[in-house]
Amino acid sequence: MTSPRLLLCCGTGGVGKTTTAAALGLAYAIAGYRTVVLTIDPARRLADALGLSHLDNDPQPVDLSSLSVAEGGSLHALMLDRKATFDNAVRDLSTSPEAAEKLLANRYYQAASTRLTGAHEYMATEKLHQLLTADRYDVIIVDTPPSRHAIDFFLAPRKVQELFDGPVVRRLVNPGRGLTGGGTRRLFAWVLSLVGQDVVDDIAEFFRLMGGVSEGFARHGAQVETALHSKQTDLLLVTTASTASRAGAVSFIREAAAEGLTLHGFVINRFIEPVDVPLHALHPAPNDVSEPLWHRWSVALRHEAVRRNAIAERHHAAALDLSQTAGQVPVWALPLLTEGLGSVTGLRQLAERLPPLTPPLLGPQS
């Protein structure tokens, strides 16, 4: 089994991360790779971008029959469902089907699987592990969750290991240990009198059964952590040419470096390029060519060309600046589309500007 390539789309919310992940998925599929796009963003944008009515926790095929796709290429998409992923993992990792069913029915499990802080990221790790080991994909693209600290997602696999393999859970899942001192026994008797034997039994059972699966969760976390830090993984930072986005990009690069992660490249979305067609092709002359109207039209065209080229110059400078900040990494640029997003044919307009279909605008291969 060869390890699939893992491409992680990072960036703050609203820059076009989900759209870029969808377009990248399409680009790899068109180039002949068996590709899957996983979104961890609870918003339904990935389905919208691919023109699908809905997505769920299992990879769903995307119909590419309207496009010309290299042999072998396919695209699947899925949206992380935290609870379903937790339940499936429990079924896979429990020592027996009976133990799994008991844990799934336990009321403390139900609370933990829906309300545990960080559960979304933990289950993203688990889902990624499933995709990495499925032996069905050449390329896995992840639309990382929008979070205050973009780097949080990459810390989750280690947190999973710490949580499930750490001293707290070990102590709790190991009955007898921790209940030995006289003070602890008195405390326990007091808790028992407050909540009753049923509750205590449920809690004890929760920790006992969780103990059976926690080793598996920790092992998966360790495997994903290794994959994220290996050569099979590339980080792409999706951003825009605005100053605020660039400031965010710079702090992301710093945080990633501190975690031993290196940036593979940038995708600058909504990138304006210099006008390469005569503007009168875009804005036909008015039919009525009376002198004042004609004059207004030609002045407006000249202004628009000047304005647009000034923006294009700023965007190009921003792209250069970003690439240099990250050590000359490649930069791909996506145009601002005025229509067409919401179907694979529309999305192809963006896919055609991305790897592996197109070399970067700037960078080593340009």
Ligand X SMILES: Nc1ncnc2c1ncn2[C@@H]1O[C@H](COP(=O)(O)OP(=O)(O)O)[C@@H](O)[C@H]1O
240 near ligand X, rule: CB under 6 A: no
41 near Mg ion, rule: CB under 5 A: yes
265, β-bridge pairs: 236
Phi-psi bin for 221: left (phi > 0), alpha (psi -120 to 50), beta? Answer: alpha
Q: How far is the CB of 15 from ligand X (least distance, A)?
A: 5
Q: How does strand 74-79 pair with strand 60-61?
A: antiparallel
What DSSP element (H or E) covers 225?
helix 182-228
Q: Where are the alpha helices (DSSP H) in 11-72?
A: 17-30, 45-50
12 near Mg ion, rule: CB under 5 A: no
Residues in the chain: 366
Q: How far is the CB of 281 from Mg ion (least distance, A)?
A: 34
14 near ligand X, rule: CB under 6 A: yes
Q: How does strand 74-79 pair with strand 34-39?
A: parallel
User: Quick one: which segment of 116-124, 301-309, 324-332, 333-341 binds ligand X (CB under 6 A)?
Assistant: 333-341
239 near Mg ion, rule: CB under 5 A: no
> b vs e for 141-154, b when ≥16 Cβ sit within 10 Å of the residue's Cβ?
bbbbbbeeebbebb
Among 189, 192, 310, 336, binds ligand X (CB under 6 A): 336
Q: How far apart are CA 352 and CA 330, in angstroms?
A: 16
Q: How far is the CB of 28 from Mg ion (least distance, A)?
A: 19
18 near Mg ion, rule: CB under 5 A: yes
Nearer to ligand X, 19 or 161 (CB): 19
Among 4, 5, 6, 17, binds ligand X (CB under 6 A): 17
42 near ligand X, rule: CB under 6 A: no
Q: How far is the CB of 306 from Mg ion (least distance, A)?
A: 34
C-beta neighbour count of 325 within 10 angstroms? 16
Judged by beta carbon distances under 5 to 8 A according to partner kind, the member of ligand X, Mg ion, none in contact with residue 26 is: none
Show the beta-strand stretches assigned E in 218-355. Answer: 233-240, 263-271, 331-335
Q: How does strand 5-10 pair with strand 139-143?
A: parallel
Nearer to Mg ion, 17 or 220 (CB): 17
Nearer to ligand X, 42 or 178 (CB): 42
Q: How far is the CB of 46 from ligand X (least distance, A)?
A: 8
CB 100 within 8 A of CB 91: yes
20 near Mg ion, rule: CB under 5 A: no
Instruction: Report phi then psi at 127, rounded to 5.
Output: -65, -40
Among 29, 33, 37, 45, binds ligand X (CB under 6 A): 45
Judged by beta carbon distances under 5 to 8 A according to partner kind, the member of Mg ion, ligand X, none in contact with residue 15 is: ligand X
Instruction: Report phi then psi at 163, rounded to 5.
Output: -65, -50
**Contacting residues toward ligand X, per CB under 6 A:** 13-19, 45, 269-270, 334, 336-337, 341
**Contacting residues toward Mg ion, per CB under 5 A:** 17-18, 41
